[in-house]
Amino acid sequence: MNGLMLQKQLLISSLIVHADRHHGDTEIVSRRVEGDIHRYTFRDCHRRARQMANALTSLGIRPSDRVGTLAWNGYRHMELYYGISGMGAVMHTINPRLHADQIAYIVDHAEDQVLFFDLTFLPLVKTIAGRCKTVKAFVAMTDRAHMPLDTGIANLLCYEDLLERSSSTYVWPNFDEDTACALCYTSGTTGNPKGVLYSHRSSLLHTFAAALPDALNCSARDVILPVVPMFHVNAWGIPYVACMVGAKLVFPGPGLDGQALYELVEAEQVTFAAGVPTVWQGLLTWLEQGGLNFSTLKRTVIGGAACPPAMLHTFQDGYGVEVLHAWGMTELSPLGTIGALKARHLALGPEDRCALQSKQGRAVFGVDMKILGENGQELPWDGVSSGDLLVRGPWVVRNYFRNEGGNPLRIDADAHGWFPTGDIATIDADGFMQITDRSKDVIKSGGEWISSIEIENLAAAHPAIASAACIAAKHMKWDERPLLVAVKQPGAQVTAEELLAFFEGKIAKWWTPDAVVFVDAVPLGATGKVLKNQLREAFQDYLLPT
Ligand code: AMP
């Protein structure tokens, strides 16, 4: 027997409609690429998102078409989030920090029809425009006065001109909630970047869960600063959460240094901020150097990479800001676990409390997790046994876009599909998960992925190199940096500088290893694979000051 409740599809557009109707005068404040601070309201945002839907229609965008963005966190990006997904097209956020060749690959793979970009990324767009065969129009996210001249980009349009020409009368269409709403490529896997295609339903369910008190704990009384980029898994869902709860939003644009962030936090009375450890390190250094304090900031969610215990301690005990350590993935929309304490933990002393909060946290409702041992057996939740972390849930990826890399799921004895995260973890009796290592062959530097395999392939292409392994070494500022361990061809001569010069122009500059260590041989396993864990153990402190 079916229930007798109304059917209403869970659609992204309902979030901005709700924000307009119930929190219409709540502000969205943005630091703009043009240099100034822009402010308007959810009502303005909704009006302009409707204009954008009309503008996209006039550009020939139809439901399910992909529309790309190369943009910072800002109000125009927010309008695209709602305009594109709301009309039934797919919002494809692109990470501008990738190498131009990778971006061209992604645009082509996604078959983006229109590409929106912030002026910061004009040089990048100029490089790739000729290779983006599916893109019918490039739109500079600025006004007429700031439009660049003589760019050589065919069919370059101006964002504000587009909106000005478009009516704000638009009724958001109703459609199946399983329709795709957004696409985000992850380079945190081996091989080519892979697209994770979110649906309206998965995103709405994720939004409900993310806003909960033991998750991001957001309300209409909050002022939220998402420093985590809108091109990284939808800024951890905050552009959606803010609309659901009616929180004021503060977008930092390109200003990610300590001073710019601090000024924004204080001027806009931010209560809650979200970002990766590297960005927070810059902010903490600025505070420390200036002898400053936060006057309104109460909570921060730190994720994307492990939050160092010292940072946790400084935020909480030095500045009175509660830290929520979170773990997630592009493949998880991204929220998986968050370190909200249970009642009995409130009595813990500062050291034990900090140790618990340094774990990656408890699963939010909707996410199931388990850890498997070497033979695929399920391991106990004893806080000691560590194994491969697998997850499942309604906002966990089922397959990558266009089946790239094949089916990623592992099927268990009950025929349930589980997504292998590539992380190795323990889970304690309270359900707190802790990442202890990583089985995937990638390096995460400042919250961004570096493919060790690509670096190894390039190194191996050097005539003086017999074999090479690239590993993550600990780094004070960037958390991890690539370190190349290389074996020379017999009799060959090459210096570290010469080898590093060989990478120039072939990969993004920040992917270049920080150092090269020449060894006689790299340790190999039974199947001939390099034993990276042994290398990591031997060289993990190599880049740290001694
Ligand atoms: P991404 O898809 O770029 O968000 O990367 C997801 C991966 O980042 C995870 O599988 C982890 O390897 C890593 N990661 C994310 N959050 C954390 C965290 N809090 N601690 C340690 N690693 C993390």
Transcribe 290-353 into DSSP letters: HT---SS--EEEE-SSPPPHHHHHIIIIIH--EEEEEEE-GGGSSEEEE-PPPGGGGGS-HHHH
Cα(330) to ligand 1 centroid in Å equals: 9
Instruction: For ligand 1, pick from 276, 301, 327 the residue to mutate: most ligand atoms within 8 Å of CB.
Output: 327
pLDDT in tens, 288-297: 999 999 999 9
Please identify which residue in the block is written with the tokens 């670096």.
455
For residue 240 and ligand 1, the question of a CB distance below 6 A is answered with no
DSSP-assigned letter for residue 298: -
Cα(305) to ligand 1 centroid in Å equals: 5
Confidence (pLDDT) at 60: 98
Q: Which atom of ligand 1 is nearest to the CA of 440?
A: 12
- Report d(CA 511, CA 480) in Å as an integer: 11
188-192, 256-260, 343-347, 423-427: the lowest-pLDDT one: 188-192
218: its two tokens: 């957001």
Bridging pattern class, strands 156-158 and 180-186: unpaired
Residue 262 has pLDDT above 90, yes or no: yes
Cβ–Cβ < 8 Å for 401, 110: yes
pLDDT in tens, 194-241: 999 999 999 999 999 999 999 999 999 999 999 999 999 999 999 999
Cα(441) to ligand 1 centroid in Å equals: 13
- Would the pTM count as exceeding 0.85? yes
Residue 188 has pLDDT above 90, yes or no: no
313: its two tokens: 């301690």
pLDDT in tens, 296-344: 999 999 999 999 999 999 999 999 999 999 999 999 999 999 999 999 9
- Report d(CA 37, CA 364) in Å as an integer: 35
For residue 334 and ligand 1, the question of a CB distance below 6 A is answered with yes
Question: Which secondary structure element, helix H or strand E, spans residue 9, and what is its range?
Answer: none
- Report d(CA 310, CA 39) in Å as an integer: 35
Residue 34 has pLDDT above 90, yes or no: no
* Residue with CA at minimum distance from ligand 1 atom 22: 305
pLDDT in tens, 52-90: 999 999 999 999 999 999 999 999 999 999 999 999 999
Confidence (pLDDT) at 102: 94
Q: For 235-263, what is the mean pLDDT?
A: 98
Q: For 400-427, what is the mean pLDDT?
A: 95
Of all residues in the chain, the percent with pLDDT exceeding 90 is: 92
For residue 158, give the 3-state DSSP assignment.
strand
Of all residues in the chain, the percent with pLDDT exceeding 70 is: 100
Residue 453 has pLDDT above 90, yes or no: no
What is the edge-to-edge ordering of all strands in the sheet holding 137-140? 156-158, 137-140, 112-117, 66-70, 90-93, 180-186, 194-199
Confidence (pLDDT) at 187: 87
Q: For 240-258, what is the mean pLDDT?
A: 98
For residue 188 and ligand 1, the question of a CB distance below 6 A is answered with yes
Q: Which atom of ligand 1 is nearest to the CA of 330?
A: 2
pLDDT in tens, 106-140: 999 999 999 999 999 999 999 999 999 999 999 99
293: its two tokens: 């304090």
- Report d(CA 442, CA 450) in Å as an integer: 6
Cβ–Cβ < 8 Å for 264, 270: yes
pLDDT in tens, 513-533: 999 999 999 998 777 778 888
* Residue with CA at minimum distance from ligand 1 atom 8: 304
Confidence (pLDDT) at 192: 86
Cα(329) to ligand 1 centroid in Å equals: 6
Q: For 234-259, what is the mean pLDDT?
A: 98
183-192, 240-249, 272-281, 415-424: the lowest-pLDDT one: 183-192
- Report d(CA 541, CA 546) in Å as an integer: 9
Q: What is the overall mean pLDDT for the chain? A: 96
- Domain architecture of the chain: domains with CATH: 13-255 (3.40.50.12780), 443-538 (3.30.300.30)
Cα(327) to ligand 1 centroid in Å equals: 6
Question: Which secondary structure element, helix H or strand E, spans residue 20, and what is its range?
Answer: helix 13-23
